[in-house]
Amino acid sequence: MREAAQGPAHAKTPPGGSGPRAMRGRAAAGALPGRLLAVALLLLVASSAEGKAHNYEDALRKSLLYFEAQRSGRLPHSQRVAWRDHSGLTDGLEQGVDLVGGYYDAGDHVKFGLPMAFTVTMLSWSMIEYGDDVEAAGELGHALEAIKWGTDYFIKAHTKPDELWAEVGDGDTDHYCWQRPEDMTTSRQAYKVDRERPGSDVAGETAAAMAAASIVFRRSNPHYAHLLLHHAQQLFEFADKYRGKYDSSIAEVKSYYASVSGYKDELLWAALWLHRATSKAEYLDYVVDKADCFGGTGWAITEFSWDVKYAGVQILAARLLLRGEHEAHHRSTLEQYMAKAEHYVCGCLGRNTAGGADANVERSTGGMLYVRQWNNMQYVTNAAFLLAAYADYLADAGVETVTCAGGETAEAGEVFALARAQVDYVLGTNPRGISYLVGYGAKYPNRVHHRAASIVPYKHSKEFIGCTQGFDHWFGRRSSNPNVLVGAIVGGPDRRDRFRDNRENYMQTEACTYNTAPMIGMFAKLNRMARQEREQEVAPATSTVTRTAAEV
């Protein structure tokens, strides 16, 4: 199971604007004055530093393992997660197309194209920003493999310029079964979008993923990078020319990954990634020309997710402004994008004094950003990445402050401090002292809502396990899962930092690929920073010893 279709959080309709509707309001975290909130945040970070330091390199290594546990298809000899085996080897056979491969998005076995593509986009963005840090930690090869496992599948799924296979499997039948993927007996029906049944959101996100990945592979595999870019350009043209929501074309996806925000954010998102990959002015012209009618400069959003890309769009556009990578006639529109990007940043900081209760993100007692009860951790990890990236863009441009709605400001250093605090919360700096990254630390969830992890490994027992047998013998067990889903980030605690480690509690114990993807970059960056901090601590001590010896 996964989150039910919901609207984007804290969406405010601008005068004359258009865009996604807010499904429900909630109390803002901004009850505390902004400065007081900032001080509390910095104290939280300081307390983390004074306590047990987090091993970000270990977290990075384990996060990349998780993607191997989520693989569908024929597993390679280099597969490190030994309790998984080949699965989904006939995917696409009924439709006469090879759809073997890709990722299962969560604890079940449907291959959903929209969240899979977003996962790959965020993995790629992590590498674009922090790839050197990933390489320094010795994990470059594994990170590239994680991206390529997704993009290889997208190449297969993009069978014609105007045709993309967007789903394999059926969520309804899948959820009646509790089986290992190696034993699957559920439907593997495949569903596509094309000219007659458009899906601009899934095609746009897949274009973004392939464009971003092309940047990543440009140095190590230029031929592959060129191939990815070719597919990305075709997919964007298809998505833009034949516009429509993919959940209107594929009814089976509506209960699981409905595109509530529509497709306009994905078209802007894809255009920005294609601009970054190609430097072609036509893509930036598109983002500027469509800024108003597509809601890019109208929607002040305080969530960023597989469905709602506006905050990511706005931050990427702000980057172009900060770096001066634009023409003079783009400037005023990019400034509007940047104002909305800073609304998102300030919303996370609880610093927007204008805009009402929905202008800021709620915060749990322990300091976690809280958007909604179902898989809230996805909003935490994605926010951490966006905040860190934006703080870096500001630093590179020599900008020290962020302007918030209502006139208050925030220092760029506070933006990154919040990002780090959210990562540390995930790793165990929270009221329960539990790591929500499975396999990391002394205490983490042991009953993750995940079929393969909860059943004896196929390699140990090849005896077939049927649909109901899995429920009867494995799902209801109170014991820990026989397989540790290392690197998974579960849905996480509620607004009061409460968490119940129970397999049936899928709102909190199911993990998703798009929870972990942005953390690859964050763990790599924080690992470098932690190493630099240790070196700085050693340097003064060494110089003191040298000076004392010289005096003697």
- Given a cut of 90, whether residue 29 has pLDDT beyond it is no
Share above pLDDT 90 across residues of the chain, in percent, rounded to a whole number: 81
Residue 64 lies in a domain: yes
Place of tokens 């990007």: 341
- Given a cut of 80, whether residue 301 has pLDDT beyond it is yes
- So what's the pLDDT on residue 14? 30
- The average pLDDT across 495-524 equals 97
pLDDT band at residue 376 under the 50/70/90 scheme = very high
Handedness of CA 157, 159, 160, 163 (dihedral sign): negative
Residue 448 lies in a domain: yes
| Residue pair 523/56 in contact by the 8 Å Cβ criterion | yes
* H helix intervals, 428-466: 451-454
pLDDT band at residue 540 under the 50/70/90 scheme = low
Question: Domain range spanning residue 462?
Answer: 60-530
Strand partners, 12: 300
Count H helices and E strands in the chain, helices first: 19, 7
- So what's the pLDDT on residue 473? 87
- Please classify residue 50 by burial: count the beta carbons closer than 10 Å to its beta carbon, then call 0-12 exposed, 13-18 middle and 19+ buried: exposed
The set of catalytic residues is 449
Residue 535 lies in a domain: no
- Given a cut of 50, whether residue 273 has pLDDT beyond it is yes
- So what's the pLDDT on residue 34? 40
351-369 pLDDT, tens digit each: 999 988 899 999 999 999 9
Per the prediction, the chain carries an average pLDDT of 89
- Given a cut of 50, whether residue 43 has pLDDT beyond it is no
pTM: 0.90
- So what's the pLDDT on residue 130? 98
- The average pLDDT across 457-476 equals 87
Residue 359 lies in a domain: yes
Residue 470 lies in a domain: yes
Share above pLDDT 70 across residues of the chain, in percent, rounded to a whole number: 88
Instruction: Quote the number of domains for the chain.
Output: 1
- So what's the pLDDT on residue 23? 26
141-177 pLDDT, tens digit each: 999 999 999 999 999 999 999 999 999 998 888 888 9
Residue 409 lies in a domain: yes
Domain with residue 370: its CATH number is: 1.50.10.10
- So what's the pLDDT on residue 467? 85
Residue 38 lies in a domain: no
**Alpha carbon distance 296, 195 (integer Å):** 25
Beta-strand pair 362-363/369-370: antiparallel
- Given a cut of 70, whether residue 93 has pLDDT beyond it is yes
194-203 pLDDT, tens digit each: 999 999 999 9
- Given a cut of 70, whether residue 21 has pLDDT beyond it is no
- Given a cut of 50, whether residue 309 has pLDDT beyond it is yes
Residue 20 lies in a domain: no
